[in-house]
Structure 1
Amino acid sequence: MCLGIPGRIVEITDPANFMAKVDVSGVKRTISVRLLEKDMPEPDDWVLVHVGFAMAKIDEREALLTLAAVKKLGDAYDTELEAFDSSSII
């Protein structure tokens, strides 16, 4: 199962290539924000992350509610977070 997980933008690491560091439940990874180039996120913005891409900007309330709901999935959430932790975009 692949889930979209809310993450908070920590920094825009490479604006020219639309790359940003995101924090998902304490796990920090570099992701692509290219799909949001018309509404670029900034540090402290929340985004919905799926397979290394920010799919949409979301507000903090929605992000926290979604994280709480996803955490209730138990193993599916843990598996998704482990996959996120072990992934990288080159």
Structure 2
Amino acid sequence: MCLGIPGEVIELMPGHEDLAMVSVEGVKRAVNVGLLSEEGGVEPGDWILIHVGFALSKIDEKEAKASLEFLMGLGDAYTDELQALAESDIRP
């Protein structure tokens, strides 16, 4: 199963305008945020919905927390997605 998971933008990656460091449940990974440029981009503190290393949309913190709560209830599917995120690295 593939899930879109919420994460918080920690920092924009210097020299790479399409990448941001994002935290998902303490797992920090570079995520491509280029798809959000038409929405005005992202800034540290923004919450985004991530799928396979790409930010698909901005979401508010309340929606992010509700989504995380729901995803934790999925058990293995969510755990597997977090493991895949932890093992990924798209930094140049």
Using the size of structure 1 for normalisation, the TM-score is: 0.95
Partner of 1:72: 73
- The question of 1:22 aligning with 2:61 is answered no
Gaps of 5+ in 1: none
1:80 is paired with a residue whose SS is helix
How many residue pairs align between the two structures?
Answer: 90
Instruction: Write the letter of the residue equivalent to 2:24.
Output: V
Amino acid of the residue matched to residue 84 of structure 2?
A
Structure 1 segments (4+ residues) deviating >2 Å: 14-17
Structure ranking higher in helix proportion: 1
Normalised TM-score (structure 2): 0.93
Give CA deviations for 1:4-59 in whole Å, capped at 9, x if unaligned.
00000000013643110000010000010000012211000000000000000000
Q: Secondary structure at the match of 1:14?
A: coil
Per the alignment, residue 84 of structure 1 pairs with: 85
Q: Percent identity?
A: 50
Q: What is the alpha-carbon distance in structure 1 between the residues aligned to residue 14 and residue 55 of structure 2?
A: 14
Aligned-residue RMSD, C-alpha: 1.1
Segments of structure 2 that go 5 or more residues without pairing to the other structure are none
Which amino acid in 2 is paired with 1:2? C
Counterparts in 2 of 1:7-86, with a 5 A limit? 7-14=7-14, 16-38=16-38, 39-86=40-87
